Amino acid sequence: MSRFGRLLAILTVAMVAMVGFGTRALGQEATDRSSLHFVVVTHGQASDPFWSVVQKGVAQGAEDMGVQVDYNAPTTFDMVAMAQLIDAAVATNPNGLVVSVPDAEALGPSIKQAVAAGIPVITINSGSDVSKELGALIHVGQTEYEAGFGGGERMAEAGVTNALCVNQEVGNAGLDARCQGFTDAMAENGGKVEVLAVDLADPTGAQQRIEAKLATDDTINGILALGPTGSAPSLAALASAGKTDTVKLATFDLSPEVLEAIRDGKMLFAIDQQQYLQGYLPIVLLTLYNTNLNTVANPVLMTGPGFVTQENAERVISLAEAGTR
């Protein structure tokens, strides 16, 4: 079994254990749930196709648990603004705080302030490597390096030898770890990777930058995007260059456009971290912590990574239409 396969087996066991834990604890609550107030602060806007699903998971978790939840995010990728949102949340003294941690140095002081104030904190999405030292109860998400490594293994198996990792937020620890895992897996299989920084605030410029790289190096036969917004200019660049059939494209995360491209054979796969669970599970866990003092000893890495390929894309498309994938 590959390193990635072993990780998936471990995550499966964790998921089974987690289901049993939740079922037992829900019947033992000691506090009125309707009085509980949680705040979620992420670095991604709810208008983004990825984060809109996270927010939907948060909303469903709030409805199912019967608690109050506020969702906040800066209007752009802005760590100063995000830290201010965390500080504002702490000032309201909520019963729990959920945060993503793309930059621990910038956000750490605000998160530690929440912990010092006695507010239970759960980290999601990014920050698996720093969650414990920041004082969080647990992290819910995937390990970004392992996910990138798994993507690199799949790319290599598909015959890719020279790839681009298109990074729209260089300096975002989670995205950088994805590229690093991808690079290491490709290197182990005799391939190489170049990280290509793009600005997705200018999609046309991003597309042109990818096209220029393809034009200057005709040995590039693979591209990994780090999200749906990065896969769109990559798809457009391949189409414009006439290389859709010769350069294999894959991405992190799902969107309707990504799923259609996989179904139609224009994209090899998408690495699925099941962001709906990243929104939903923390609300359940915070509810159980407040009502029954339940805690989970280890990070909940069962949300990903998984893979959506041409074989299962049609089924996932139907789930995406409901807004849960």
Q: What is the CATH number of the domain that holds 49?
A: 3.40.50.2300
Q: Does 21 reside within a domain?
A: no
Per 3-state DSSP, the chain is made up of helix, strand and coil in percentages (nearest 5) of 50, 15, 35
pLDDT averaged per 10 residues, the chain (length 325): 42 39 39 91 84 93 97 92 97 97 94 97 90 93 90 97 95 90 98 95 94 96 93 95 96 90 95 90 96 77 72 82 70
The pLDDT assigned to 298 comes to 65
Rounded Cα–Cα distance for residues 188 and 76 (Å): 36
Residue 76 lies in a domain: yes
Q: Is residue 11 part of a domain?
A: no
What token pair was written down for 146? Answer: 């392992």
Number of domain units in the chain = 2
Q: Check if the beta carbon of residue 251 is closer than 8 Å to that of residue 158.
A: no
* Residue 43: domain span: 31-142+274-294
Given a contact cutoff of 8 angstroms between Cβ atoms, the answer to whether 313 and 258 are in contact is no
* Residue 266 shares a structural domain with residue 281: no
Indicate yes or no: pTM above 0.85.
Answer: no
